[in-house]
Amino acid sequence: QSIVRRGDRPQVTVLQAGRLTLNLGARAVSYNGVPVELGGTEFRVLEYLVRNAGIALSRIQILEKIWADDFDGSSNIVDVYVSQLRRKLKKAGGERVIDTVWGVGYRLLR
């Protein structure tokens, strides 16, 4: 019976953190109503940050969540994607959306 009840729960299709909105079904992002075009990996990184808004996530946590075990490169790839996200969000009016937590990693501001 508990398995049947779980199937009745509505799926979350829109995530919101402050002025940032992610529509998971449409894979669409907007900041204060302005659409933001993201690639697939950028979207996954941003979704992970939004789901953990306000929490400082290490580069390793992000790397393991997004790239899993099949990635042999450096954790610098996380820095590259965060930089791209910041640039694209800034174009939509988001001056300070992703914060650097020195010695830890990154945090999405609420």
Tell me: pLDDT of 65 over 60.
yes
Q: What is the pLDDT of residue 1?
A: 53
Token duo for residue 51:
């789901």
pTM as predicted: 0.86
Q: What is the pLDDT of residue 8?
A: 59
DSSP state of 87: H
Q: What is the pLDDT of residue 7?
A: 60
| Tens digit of each residue's pLDDT (9 = 90 or more) over 3-46 | 555 665 567 799 999 999 999 999 999 999 999 999 999 999 99
| Tens digit of each residue's pLDDT (9 = 90 or more) over 77-108 | 999 999 999 999 999 998 899 999 999 999 99
Q: Spell 11-47 as b/e; 16+ CB within 10 A means b.
A: eeeebebeebbbeeeeeebebeeeebebeeebbbbbb
